[in-house]
Structure 1
């Protein structure tokens, strides 16, 4: 499925070959060596168990467990472009945790695959055919993804919440153009819940954000918010499902509503 989708995004998928074992094969077969020799780029999928598998394979000899190690070793030694892709919340391993022949992999910039939208980044990197080094201090706008990714809320769930506890909220789309230095902007549209909270003074607006922040940490879900004078603008979206609305956004919006209702400095008109 991954190869098919990447093929669609990259214009046909010519040259995309999966190097998975075939039932009954043990030694690393010539067909894979030939496929890697003809390839321009190796896509290395790294899940949370990848490092353990590679570590186990370092002492394996022809029993099938060393395929992961051999294909990456071969590509690095042959000077092929290698693109690490982390999935399911995995982190890039440090050089010291890898066998010596795989240590160069840790210096490459990975793409974090959280959903379908991130496939565009993978396809773009494959089209470029490059293995850029990772920045010394990479900047990320977002925390590490949750191991359990929430499902996107459907239209009925969202409409029910907006008609009841979130009647002061609305669904809003935006394109996220303002990014921190050193980060690459997402080119996708983001869909989220939006609300403006009014306060009596500027200091009340700032105090509300300070008072509500600990609850966001407890929920392990955080708003994109800011204040303009006496107004706090809040945009809630779940980034690890491609910036769409999930139950976490609805629950956090309900929490902010309760916090605002009990806040002494709120504006009477909301």
Structure 2
């Protein structure tokens, strides 16, 4: 398991059950050998085993599971574990930051990301990483979103991903992926729109920031039983967009949500990212209790 691309860091007294559940889900969905999670009893002061260092070195992404007691847990003298240099969790995060690993903090049971000034300086940069909330009421839904990001990491087979500065002159688009996708062909798009995405359609319009250019998008509207359901749906799927690093252009009009998808960093053309995000929206809508499924 030393070559596993995913490493789970957690505190047993804080999130053992959730980390174990996450570990099992990853194995089930992504396959054997994809994730490393230490399950032995490790005490403070024990020599850091070579197995942990080797696993961290080989990992492409380190998931840090943070519960409500993650930062508060102390030893028998009342000293916070996170402040002690031999603390296992601290050392795992220090190693990941030093080696420039991709870090994904998962916040469970309503936990909040600790302020940077409440963490040791050596791991304060953890707070700059985008965290994902795993909500109790939407555990199965939110875990699927995490899995999509993990699939991206494992499929690309990269040791790490570094943030790139956006070259967008208007400053309104998010930082793109390290690697740009290829635009899909019209033939492939038509196959998708006549198949699983039959309720979507291709639309072309002038680019608001530069009227001499056009944007090509796929569009669909979703109808809901009430305005509040429409807003709740947008709130439910928004974390998935963040995890995928791909975001819609959308608007809410009363009980309707209109969604437009395009890949801006390849010139506002359609890529496979748009197809996959459209499928994600459709699946979330089909499972949503406030949806009007005749839309």
TM-score, length-scaled by structure 1: 0.46
Tell me which structure has the larger Cα radius of gyration.
Answer: 1
